[in-house]
A and B are shown apart, each in its own frame.
Chain A
Amino acid sequence: METMIAAPTTVLNTVGLDTALPKSLVAKTNQAATAAPLSIDIQNVTVSFKTNEGVYTAVKNISLQVKKGEIISLIGHSGCGKSTLMNTISGMVSPSEGTVLANQKKVTGPGPDRGIVFQNYSLLPWLTVYQNIFVAVDSVMKNKSKADKIALTENGLKMVNLWPHKDKLPGQLSGGMKQRVAIARAFSINPSILLLDEPFGALDALTKSAMHIELLKLWNLDHREKTIILVTHDIEEAIFLSDRVVVLNNGPAATIKEIVDVPLARPRNKKDIVHDPEYMRIHDKLLGLLMHKLSIND
């Protein structure tokens, strides 16, 4: 708690202001603060599914604006609808109410401007590493020549240092390598928006940390122009990677509980960052938002 008090008051104020205002107003203030065009604009989105027991509302009346090149984490408990919310951006799920704009265009389905990295990698097991990437490039980049497609595939594989493994099948790779293939696949189609659905959830802690740095490196190489939305339930991961962390309430009918800014300078250092008082403050805040019981005495 001491770190919270020690934190710069300005940041505390903005966070305090955000929580005090209705969600729609928060969205407007965020938008007004920046003149840059929005990469993603989620407007009053509600997603309901028909089930055998009636209508189930996963997320309710959510608005969120994301600037170009921003990295945003969606964090919340399992089943709170964070993946559902992200799938409205990817176009895999259509909202029951409200609209989602990606690059100022209404989302009606999946599109090549949005690359997706799935939680379980979703590589096609009968295709080699190379073919897995090539088939995606070939499908999305219809107008490019074969030579260009081959170059893009090669480039994508070299970017994640998997060129020596290009002829292996996914079944012969470790979890971390599979996820690198999935990331290379998403980067190779050169989307302006990258959507990652609990991408590192199945990896061990060390591989996970290495992948975080790997992801930020790719983002840097691309001049920090890609917008990244990351679904996670890992607080450390969310802080290390993001510019803002969106905390969702527990479902059903989840709403945004709070949006927490992460004003830590980039490039961030895994080892140093944990000693940064600002990091500790944000970490405490997120922990407080997500957990009500912090010890057995609570």
Chain B
Amino acid sequence: MKKIISLQTLYAMLYFVLGMGLLLAAWAWVSHITKNEVPSPILTWKVFQEVMQSPFQNDADIKGIGTKLLSSLGRVGIGFGLGSLLAVPLGLLLGSNIRLMNIFNPIIQILKPVSPLAWFPLGLAIFKDSPKASIFMIFICCIWPTLINTAMGAASVPPDHKNVSKAFAFSPLKYITKILLPYTLPHIITGLRLSIGVAWMVIVAGEMLSGGMGLGYFVWEEGFNGGSIEKILVAILIIGSVGLLLDKAFIALEKKLSYAQ
């Protein structure tokens, strides 16, 4: 008989259920000792169902949570895409050229630790438009992890591979496509994975600052200002789940594109 679920997957599922159970128990307990200041899982579940009545409602004044989620994801996608388009080629260049690396390294070291939120007002001043400013902020924060990982990958191409390129007179294009990119790809994907993780964290905060859009706005306006702690909790769970899915997607990509050693 063919096994549909292996023992390993079964165990993994069991652990997942146990973890979730523990989370729910702790949550219920906190809710109990705060006398429902923090709403219980059951109350939150009811609000979740309410919110999910028409998630993709997209009227001028009322927008469903799904619509807000998509608009947040859209801005993350654009900022992440633009940031990666800059970071990957620049990382390959810096990793391959030690002089350029030495020039760019101090710039990266100074700008990298800056909170992405600090870029938001600058973006607002430049673009005079809060969605664009959010994209700008995501763009900036997506550069660093990808840039650094890509450069580290490109700088560690083994001499053996470089020797093959020399011995068989590879053209620069052939070196890039047959050696540099395949070798660096796992490093690039790790960088992209870190970048999207940061971007997803930052977008919610950015939208709280800018107001009027996305999941951040939902947390702040409908949750806190609307006096519904349940909505805040719903939003937190959705944000967390989407973040997890994004991470899993990149792990899958990493596995698929990494070459067998």
Contacts and interface: CB of A to CB of B under 8 A. Distances in A.
Nearest to B160: A122
A231 to B, nearest CB: 14
B261 A124 contact: no
Nearest to B161: A124
Interface string A146-168: 00000000000000000000000
A139 B170 contact: yes
Interface string B34-69: 000000000000000000000000000000000000
Grouping DSSP codes into helix (H, G, I), strand (E, B) and loop, the A interface class, with mixed when no group exceeds half, is loop
Grouping DSSP codes into helix (H, G, I), strand (E, B) and loop, the B interface class, with mixed when no group exceeds half, is helix
B255 interface: no
Interface string B158-187: 001101101111110010001100110000
A135 interface: yes
A100 to B, nearest CB: 16
Contacts, number: 59
A110 B167 contact: yes
B260 A124 contact: no
A51 to B, nearest CB: 17
A110 B168 CA distance: 8
Contacts of B160: 118, 120, 122
A116 B163 CA distance: 10
B171 A125 contact: no
B11 interface: no
A169 B167 contact: no
A116 B259 contact: no
Contacts of A118: 160, 163-164, 167
A140 B163 contact: no
A235 interface: no
A92 interface: yes
A122 B166 CA distance: 12
Interface string A80-121: 000000000010100000000000000001111001101010
A206 to B, nearest CB: 26
Contacts of A169: 259-260
A139 B161 contact: no
Contact of B168 (A109, A126, A136): A136
B167 A116 contact: yes
B178 A140 contact: no
Nearest to B182: A126
- Across chains A and B, which 10 residue pairs bring their CB atoms closest together, nearest first? A126-B259, A126-B182, A136-B168, A116-B167, A122-B160, A171-B260, A110-B166, A139-B168, A122-B164, A110-B167
21 contacts: A90-B167, A92-B163, A109-B166, A110-B167, A110-B168, A110-B169, A111-B169, A115-B167, A116-B167, A118-B160, A118-B163, A122-B161, A126-B182, A135-B170, A136-B168, A138-B174, A139-B170, A140-B168, A140-B169, A169-B259, A169-B260
Given A122-B161, A126-B259, A136-B168, 20 more contacts: A92-B166, A110-B167, A111-B169, A115-B167, A116-B167, A118-B160, A122-B163, A123-B164, A124-B164, A124-B179, A125-B260, A126-B182, A135-B178, A136-B164, A139-B168, A139-B170, A139-B174, A140-B168, A171-B260, A172-B260
